[in-house]
């Protein structure tokens, strides 16, 4: 019993140390953004907490930069990418999970194999396709590559496989079509995985830098990562403003996680209803 207690204490101390290693850089970022203009942020030894807390960096961030435009563009692109991913991946995953047809395993294998292909390999063909479609310098060009992912399809297929077939049988007896079974049975049952997929897609789209850098030239269409890059490349570089911009970019992700984490349950199968 004593050995078990000692092991628990050591495990707790290790987890606390790990949490500190993760949180200290974030805390440093926040405190740097709150330091006043007269405070030396490169002092030695470095001061973690600001001696004179100030919001001037955030005021200058929004006054001197079109940050609202960057936030709006990122929000539109991320929201559309999440909606498209949840819709298309769930529609594609349902027949792969619940229907029997020739070549189903081959189709699934080919889709999953695309996970191994780096985005840099398909970036140039994708860029040429966007140019031919006349979508260069449009927000739609940022949404299309994220509209459906192999990871999302595979995740939802595995989730649909875990749904009891009795729920489908009951919905079929009540007169539900295949589309009705997908909507009334599979979607509620896979709620946890749908929210997980939505969070992954949102974070990936919100923080994407490479593809917007390639496809966008118009500063009015820049997303938040591109806008923050403009801050760090200016001649009058102020690390307080860069830190403030980084904090602003992190906040939506944290808020989304706090809002949605209560919906992620170990099993959501009981949420399925008959149509």
Give the pLDDT confidence of 37-88 residue by residue, as tens digits: 878 777 777 777 888 888 888 998 898 889 999 999 999 999 999 999 999 9
Q: What is the pTM of this model?
A: 0.85
In the chain, CATH 1.10.3720.10 sits at 65-271
CA separation, residue 59 to residues 68, 89, 224 (Å): 12, 41, 17
65-271 homologous superfamily: MetI-like (1.10.3720.10)
In the prediction, which pLDDT does 8 show? 82
Percent of residues in the chain assigned helix, strand, coil, to nearest 5: 75, 0, 25
Please count the other Cβ atoms lying within 10 Å of the Cβ belonging to residue 174: 12
pLDDT in tens, 175-230: 888 899 999 999 999 988 999 999 999 999 999 999 999 999 999 999 999 988 88
pLDDT in tens, 96-124: 998 888 888 899 999 989 988 898 899 99
pLDDT in tens, 226-246: 988 887 665 457 888 888 999
């Amino acid at each position: 019993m004593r050995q078990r207690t000692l092991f628990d204490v050591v495990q707790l101390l290790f987890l606390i140390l790990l949490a500190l290693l993760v949180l200290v850089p974030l805390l440093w970022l926040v405190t740097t953004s709150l330091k006043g203009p007269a405070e030396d942020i490169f002092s030695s030894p470095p001061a973690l907490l600001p001696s004179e807390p100030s919001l001037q960096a955030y005021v200058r961030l929004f006054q001197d930069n079109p940050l609202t435009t960057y936030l709006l563009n990122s929000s539109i692109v991320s929201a559309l990418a999440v909606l498209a991913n949840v819709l298309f991946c769930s529609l594609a995953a349902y027949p792969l999970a619940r229907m029997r047809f020739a070549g189903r395993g081959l189709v699934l294998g080919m889709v999953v194999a695309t996970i191994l292909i780096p985005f840099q390999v398909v970036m140039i063909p994708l860029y040429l396709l966007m140019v031919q479609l006349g979508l260069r310098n449009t927000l739609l060009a940022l949404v299309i590559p994220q509209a459906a992912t192999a990871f999302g399809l595979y995740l939802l297929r595995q989730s649909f496989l875990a749904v009891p077939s009795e729920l489908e049988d009951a919905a079929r007896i009540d007169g539900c079509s295949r589309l009705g079974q997908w909507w009334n049975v599979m979607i509620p049952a896979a709620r946890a995985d749908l929210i997980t997929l939505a969070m992954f897609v949102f974070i990936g789209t919100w923080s994407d830098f490479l593809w917007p850098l390639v496809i966008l030239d118009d500063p009015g269409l820049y997303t938040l990562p591109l806008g923050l890059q403009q801050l760090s490349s200016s001649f009058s570089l102020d690390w307080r403003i860069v830190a403030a911009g980084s904090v602003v970019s992190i906040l939506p992700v944290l808020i989304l996680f706090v809002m949605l984490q209560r919906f992620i349950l170990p099993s959501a199968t009981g949420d399925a209803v008959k149509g």
